[in-house]
Structure 1
Amino acid sequence: MSQHYANTHVDTAIATADDADAEHHDGGFRPRAMTNTAEIDSTISHPGSVRINVKGAFIVDGTEQPATPANGYSNANGSYHEGKDIRLPNHTAVVSHIAVDIGGSLAKLVYFSREAHSTEPGGRLNFHSFETDRVDDCIEFMRHLKDNQLALNGSKPKDLCIMATGGGAFKYHDKIKKALGVDVLREEEMACLIIGLDFFITEIPREVFTYSETEPMQFVQPEADIYPYMLVNIGSGVSILKVSGPRKYERVGGTSLGGGTLWGLLSLLTPADSFDDMLDMAAQGDNAKVDMLVGDIYGTDYNKIGLKSTAIASSFGKVFRMKREAENEAEDSENTTHDHLQPSQQIQESSSNTSSVPQPKTRTDAVSRFSASDISRSLLYAISNNIGQIAYLHSHIHGLSHIYFGGSFIRGHPQTMNTLSYAIRFWSKGEKQAYFLRHEGYLGAVGAFLNRQPRNWGRRGSFEGDGAALEERLRERRGGDNEREMAA
């Protein structure tokens, strides 16, 4: 096993690219056969884990869709196919489970499928997301996968199991179980995030990258020596985790100002119907029309403290002044019109106004001077800058130089990544680095997928921790079997 999964009794076991052909056995090495169904069956009586053989794994670039029966399912009603499947050319074992991470805003789905009509071995991990408000569509998609289990990966519909994590694993547990008629196993959310991130960092080429405007997407090679590091997971809210080893983590901070904040405020301020619409608008906007910049105050850079003229001094700082100017212009225009009325018309209008209740200014009056795109970009910067600075402060407190940003808030959006990356470089004076992932929103779902325990492994939770209690029970069982054999 690779270094970060060296513990024999952790729930996840991965055959890595370096050691898939051999593994430790009685102090030496023995050849390792390709994963097969018999091996999985043996783990029921010989505790270990379902092995996901990632030798030769790679990301399928482009918009290519997986050649599976699920390919015909309509991606409507708030669903989204990621289009960055992970090809597992050497994984041949049956996989009879689906993993879903249901958060406050999005439900992320991960499932394995074989290549339809292909003579090549292996298959791929597929990534799909749904808006949580449309969780029924997500469940219907899982029903579709269940009905096609035999064609997808060789297992039967009755063998399907759902691994669920996130808050929705509790909120929608009974609903999923009743709708699909399958086991729904809940997995701890933070643990799944770390399992998923460790998998991506150490096993998948061209997954992790750094980002800046001058050097976008500089890929980082997978490595085994990754601890300690910090994970900033940006979903509806933000959780900041310090990770010191496999399954060794603590939540050290966070903020309620996350993706849900951006989504909520922009749904009030703009006509956007989805988070992707908001990101598209932000990409076209000019925050300088909304934000007060250093140059607006000083007329130039503020070099003494290292601030460029384009740095944001106050998010939305121009709104009040410009809004007031617009209102004054409207009043002046109204007064000018009133002065041009005939005396009899002025008297009639005055009489009418005294009997009517003053009308409040409408939303259109307040924001008509600002475009939805400019507002979107300004708020995106405000949320991202806040998260970046909080992330740096926690990394400084805990002495961590590797900072990974995950969560569906990022969505591969250049402005978001550049803002977060710039904040880390600026505040750390270039000593710390921000890292991003191509599957940033699926850490928890992939962790739940890898955390799958075969059916009939006994009491849930018996394989947690360092496995000492389990090992003791196995020794006792083996001792009892030997005694019965001798008695016979």
Structure 2
Amino acid sequence: MADYTRSSSKRRRVSSSAIDMQSAIQQPGSIKINVEGAYIIDHEDEDSSHGSSPSSHTEGEEQSYQHHNRDIRLPNHTAVVSHVAADIGGSLAKVVYFSRENGVPESGGRLNFLSFETDKIDECIEYLRLLQHKYQKTNGDAKAADLMVMATGGGAFKFYDRIKERLGVDVVREDEMECLIMGLDFFITEIPTEVFTYNDDDPENAVDYQDPRSEVYPYLLVNIGSGVSMIKVSGPSQYQRIGGTSLGGGTLWGLLSLLTGARTFDDMLAMADKGDNHAIDLLVGDIYGEGMGYEKIGLSEKTIASSFGKVLKRKREAERRAEDGSGLSNGDAVPRPEEPPAAPANDEAVNLVGDGRMFKPEDISRSLLYAISNNIGQISYLQSEKHNLQRIYFGGSFIRGHAQTIHTLSFAIKFWSKGSKQAFFLRHEGYLGAVGAFLKRRPQSWGRRGSVDLVDI
């Protein structure tokens, strides 16, 4: 990873709303989370014994959650934080919480990030219960019920009663769009090396980390979860959902679970890394011939002309040879015992890869990933053009820091804008809503734009 730098940008503040002021009055004893000197750390670069996570499983037992491998270190925050945040979506529940470093207030602390599959919401609630007990143990006379849960996303409403009943705490539900924007604003303005761009024209320096910036508006937020929402942000609390698409992470997850048998989204991304979409997609070079493209309209020979465009042709050719007794039927039958299997006349036509499959699961994964990502990238560009937005930020759990996904989205914006626009990504892209909900617990006038104020009771 690149060396982490500290920003010396001048802070500026905006006044809080009347609601925020009333909240501060009702919650005396509020504190300010100190982000001075904040930086991102990789778990691989430290001793894992820092003790930020409660123990929720015995040795040898599979964890029900995934701990994001980049915490945000807050070396100068020493006060107690008495709330956690959860963004519960259709596929994943994301949790953000603060922990003291080594249990010592003087050492500061960190923001921790982890996720659960929403189908395992009970495991998520149990983890929050363990955080309650750790909070009580760490803060002496504090009661477990003092730890408040800030919640956003559809699951904040769907599972509200269950969370409140099992934890015995206040559950404050926050608007999902507001939380997404507040979380993104925090990352853009406060955390060094959080935002980055990607340019594969220079493979050795493909990732370019951005310094925190104070002037951010307007911009387009493309949040890719189970579905996709596209939000025009004109200023603090000034936003409008301008579009989206139902073809998002849930689409990729659902189709690949049917086509490949993969059990988790991470397994699907790992397969895509090993795949070759040329066996599945019809390319411009397949139409015009090798070494030829359609340069007059800016298409190279490797440009995808039709996602999954080779599948039907190859399947039909295999079926024709099966009817002639020289091949396999539908890619899943066995050779006739009285005849030796004939070699395919055309390797491109049928090439079984095991278990009777005509296409490799890895190739299918790569092709579908490209199809979904390219579609999202093109719609994002069109929305940015329609609303005159230069900066396009991609967030959501669909991305997961996956290089091929980032490359495809970045390439799509660069291609359709002819290089005039750029895609921006985040290292905590799946936690915008959870961080925003965490930041909703706030007093007045803290942070570079007053968008990251917290209250502790």
Partner amino acid, structure 2, of 1:259: G
Paired position in structure 2 for 1:326: 318
1:414 to 403, 412, 416: 403
TM-aligned CA deviation for residue 326 of structure 1: 1.7
Q: 1:190 to 1:318 in 2, by over 3 A?
A: same
Paired position in structure 1 for 2:175: 188
Paired position in structure 2 for 1:25: none
Q: TM-score, normalised by structure 1?
A: 0.78
**1:12·1:450 contact (CA, 8 Å) conserved in 2?**
no
**1:323·1:367 contact (CA, 8 Å) conserved in 2?**
no
Q: What do the CA deviations read for 1:106-143 (whole angstroms, capped 9, x no partner)?
A: 00000000012557431000000000111111111111
Q: What do the CA deviations read for 1:341-363 (whole angstroms, capped 9, x no partner)?
A: 9xxxxxxxxxxxxxxxxxxxxxx
In structure 2, C-alpha distance between the alignment counterparts of 1:436 and 1:183, rounded to whole Å: 34
TM-aligned CA deviation for residue 227 of structure 1: 0.5
**1:12·1:49 contact (CA, 8 Å) conserved in 2?**
no
Matched, 1:164 2:156: no
Q: What do the CA deviations read for 1:156-200 (whole angstroms, capped 9, x no partner)?
A: 312111100000000000011111111111000000000000000
Paired position in structure 2 for 1:99: 85
Which consecutive unaligned segments of at least 5 residues does structure 2 have? 1-9, 329-334, 340-352, 445-457
1:230 to 201, 205, 220: 220
Paired position in structure 1 for 2:453: none
Paired position in structure 2 for 1:146: 132
1:27-176 equivalence runs, <5 A: 43-44=24-25, 50-63=31-44, 64=46, 65=48, 67-68=50-51, 70-74=53-57, 76-118=62-104, 120-152=106-138, 155-176=142-163
**1:66·1:115 contact (CA, 8 Å) conserved in 2?**
no
In structure 1, C-alpha distance between the alignment counterparts of 2:238 and 2:25, rounded to whole Å: 26
In structure 2, C-alpha distance between the alignment counterparts of 1:11 and 1:68, rounded to whole Å: 37
Q: What do the CA deviations read for 1:296-315 (whole angstroms, capped 9, x no partner)?
A: 00111111111110010000
Q: Which stretch shifts more, 214-223 or 293-302?
A: 214-223
Q: Give the secondary-structure state (helix, strand or coil) at the position aligned to 1:60.
A: strand
Q: Give the secondary-structure state (helix, strand or coil) at the position aligned to 1:162.
A: strand
TM-aligned CA deviation for residue 435 of structure 1: 0.2
**2:89·2:154 contact (CA, 8 Å) conserved in 1?**
yes
Paired position in structure 2 for 1:255: 245
Q: 1:288 to 1:339 in 2, by over 3 A?
A: closer
**2:220·2:389 contact (CA, 8 Å) conserved in 1?**
yes
Partner amino acid, structure 2, of 1:125: L
Q: What do the CA deviations read for 1:274-301 (whole angstroms, capped 9, x no partner)?
A: 0000000000000000000000001111
Q: Give the secondary-structure state (helix, strand or coil) at the position aligned to 2:80.
A: coil
Q: Which stretch shifts more, 213-222 or 157-166?
A: 213-222
2:272 to 268, 282, 299: 282
Matched, 1:6 2:6: no
Q: 1:10 to 1:201 in 2, by over 3 A?
A: farther
In structure 2, C-alpha distance between the alignment counterparts of 1:288 and 1:231, rounded to whole Å: 31
Paired position in structure 1 for 2:431: 442
Which consecutive unaligned segments of at least 5 residues does structure 1 have? 14-41, 342-363, 458-488
Report the number of matched residues. Answer: 405
TM-aligned CA deviation for residue 61 of structure 1: 2.2
1:333-352 equivalence runs, <5 A: 333=325
In structure 1, C-alpha distance between the alignment counterparts of 2:313 and 2:52, rounded to whole Å: 57
Q: Which stretch shifts more, 320-329 or 309-318?
A: 320-329
2:422 to 417, 426, 433: 433
State the structure with bigger RCO (CA 8 A, min sep 6), 1 or 2: 2
Q: Give the secondary-structure state (helix, strand or coil) at the position aligned to 2:42.
A: coil
Q: TM-score, normalised by structure 2?
A: 0.83
**2:222·2:395 contact (CA, 8 Å) conserved in 1?**
yes
Partner amino acid, structure 1, of 2:171: V
In structure 2, C-alpha distance between the alignment counterparts of 1:269 and 1:194, rounded to whole Å: 35
TM-aligned CA deviation for residue 258 of structure 1: 0.2
In structure 1, C-alpha distance between the alignment counterparts of 2:338 and 2:145, rounded to whole Å: 81
Q: 1:195 to 1:340 in 2, by over 3 A?
A: closer
More helix by share: 1
In structure 2, C-alpha distance between the alignment counterparts of 1:412 and 1:287, rounded to whole Å: 20
| Structural RMSD (CA) | 2.8
Q: What do the CA deviations read for 1:221-278 (whole angstroms, capped 9, x no partner)?
A: 1010111111000000000000000111000010000000000000000121100000
In structure 1, C-alpha distance between the alignment counterparts of 2:52 and 2:32, rounded to whole Å: 24
Q: Work out the percentage of aligned pairs sharing the same amino acid.
A: 61
**1:12·1:51 contact (CA, 8 Å) conserved in 2?**
no
Greater C-alpha Rg: 1
Matched, 1:293 2:283: yes
In structure 2, C-alpha distance between the alignment counterparts of 1:229 and 1:87, rounded to whole Å: 27
Paired position in structure 2 for 1:201: 188
1:8-23 equivalence runs, <5 A: 8-9=16-17
Q: Which stretch shifts more, 387-396 or 69-78?
A: 69-78
In structure 2, C-alpha distance between the alignment counterparts of 1:424 and 1:326, rounded to whole Å: 38
Q: Which stretch shifts more, 52-61 or 385-394?
A: 52-61
Q: What do the CA deviations read for 1:361-389 (whole angstroms, capped 9, x no partner)?
A: xxx99981100000000000000000000
Q: What do the CA deviations read for 1:18-44 (whole angstroms, capped 9, x no partner)?
A: xxxxxxxxxxxxxxxxxxxxxxxx944
Q: 1:304 to 1:450 in 2, by over 3 A?
A: same
Q: 1:50 to 1:103 in 2, by over 3 A?
A: farther
In structure 1, C-alpha distance between the alignment counterparts of 2:182 and 2:78, rounded to whole Å: 22
Q: 1:151 to 1:56 in 2, by over 3 A?
A: farther
